[in-house]
Structure 1
């Protein structure tokens, strides 16, 4: 297994803070935009002079579904319930299952090049270790294993004392990869879990399905603020991530998208819109 510091040991890193962003080059900044942006960043981190990137992003009330969720037998009823509760719904193009986002959830994408020589598991381990490094002065209790009863469960759920606050997914495009994590920073993790629990109850009911969907137990989820017993904000976490990156690299650059990246963004965004046509009609 590769050392996580070696994986982020680049002299130059690109920093993109998209938190609170309303528009991106003429497009409303929804979760559709975010996943298209990560695809483009992954496409362009190639070659010997590649600049890896860290991107931070937030979205107001949004539920991001995984591909298996799009096959739920009563999906239309589930999406309608989310809409009635003020949530916008999309299906993402990376792994995982349903996740609840709002302004208290910080999403972070670590976009790395040369993925042909690095395993999927090494990428997950790199993100886990980076988050531990970001929070190293606050806790050494962060563990990575599947939290049964959480939403979007996986082997790399991040938890403190058995309660999950973060989940990781990964999207590989050609030779680049976006390792994506959502971090429940502020607010009530339990309330987010209750929403996803209710979604599955409405969208699946008692139907028999080939895929095993999670039975969500809100008691096993919480925000970092709750788990650490302190008023930790998304703004605080952004500063922590930037400070951690400054320890690991020589130069941080904030470059806008190039003409080539913008051309690819149009294509990837349109693909995301097409992927979500049926979901859009349900809301």
Structure 2
């Protein structure tokens, strides 16, 4: 896939690994982090950055989800199942995060010609294909009808979705994000969101068409390849690809310049969530 060479192959990749510490913080921090990195990488003050993150049981909602006519009932169900919930600052619909879901973000600077949206998606697809090249599986990128947060770049094996890709663009920075269901039950995660929509929508007619979820079309990678995979296994594969694709790979954190930017973006997403959910408290 030659078209992706210049996006995955960077002179330097900085890696911010939050696959462990993320379990102890609210997922809102992750969206503040990616916005911060978009701003700093887009401004050219930081190199291309790859970030990994895992969060404790959280359902990340899209803006359209907050317009469900009986949202309060759907949120109550999530709480009863032990999930917290947030609204992200980018598009898409509800997705499930937990200890078996690895999120990866590639943050790149827009070039003079810009990064076409499909090139961003294709670069992430190429990354995942390279990460699992030793398995004899065909990873397809197409919408899986019946999945949660369906999109044209759902990643699937044998018609069962295990990952979804999204993008966030801010201040000449591009964050290409993916959630990878590494282990656990994909259908159980889908069942949670199916019930959320059932309770939140009921029989109401809505302007927006919410997905009719079929839990049978979702699975984890471990289920699909029929081998146990851990977050650590997949992280190693991720780092190995980035090492092959760069002259320099190093572990980093936010710089002194990025920290105050993060505080601003994090506060912004917190304020937005407080405003959205204030009527349900």
Question: Structure 2 length normalisation: TM-score?
Answer: 0.95
**2:60 aligns with one of 59, 64, 69:** 64
2:134 is aligned with 1:137: yes
Q: Distance in 2 between matches of 1:166 and 1:256?
A: 26
Q: Distance in 1 between matches of 2:26 and 2:4?
A: 31
Equivalence for 1:36? 32
Moved runs in structure 1, 4+ residues, more than 4 A? 47-50
Q: Distance in 1 between matches of 2:45 and 2:86?
A: 34
Equivalence for 1:114? 110
Equivalence for 1:96? 92
C-alpha deviation, 1:29, in angstroms? 1.9
2:215 is aligned with 1:218: yes
Equivalence for 2:9? 9
280 and 16 in structure 1: CA distance in 2 versus 1, 3 angstrom threshold: farther
Q: Distance in 2 between matches of 1:273 and 1:237?
A: 30
C-alpha deviation, 1:70, in angstroms? 1.1
2:280 is aligned with 1:282: yes
Q: Distance in 1 between matches of 2:244 and 2:278?
A: 42
Structure 2, unpaired ranges of 5+: none
Contact 1:4 1:130 in 2 (8 A): no
Deviations 1:146-189 (A, max 9, x none): 00000000000000000000001111011001111000001000
Contact 2:100 2:181 in 1 (8 A): yes
C-alpha deviation, 1:49, in angstroms? 6.7
**1:53 aligns with one of 49, 56, 76:** 49
Equivalence for 2:235? 238
22 and 176 in structure 1: CA distance in 2 versus 1, 3 angstrom threshold: closer
C-alpha deviation, 1:275, in angstroms? 1.2
Contact 1:105 1:184 in 2 (8 A): yes
Equivalence for 2:195? 198
48 and 67 in structure 1: CA distance in 2 versus 1, 3 angstrom threshold: closer
Contact 1:132 1:140 in 2 (8 A): no
Q: Distance in 1 between matches of 2:75 and 2:90?
A: 19
Equivalence for 2:171? 174
CA RMSD in angstroms comes to 1.7
Structure 1, unpaired ranges of 5+: none
Question: Structure 1 length normalisation: TM-score?
Answer: 0.94
Equivalence for 1:161? 158
151 and 247 in structure 1: CA distance in 2 versus 1, 3 angstrom threshold: same
Deviations 1:135-155 (A, max 9, x none): 111134100000000000000
C-alpha deviation, 1:19, in angstroms? 1.0
Equivalence for 2:181? 184
Contact 1:172 1:178 in 2 (8 A): yes
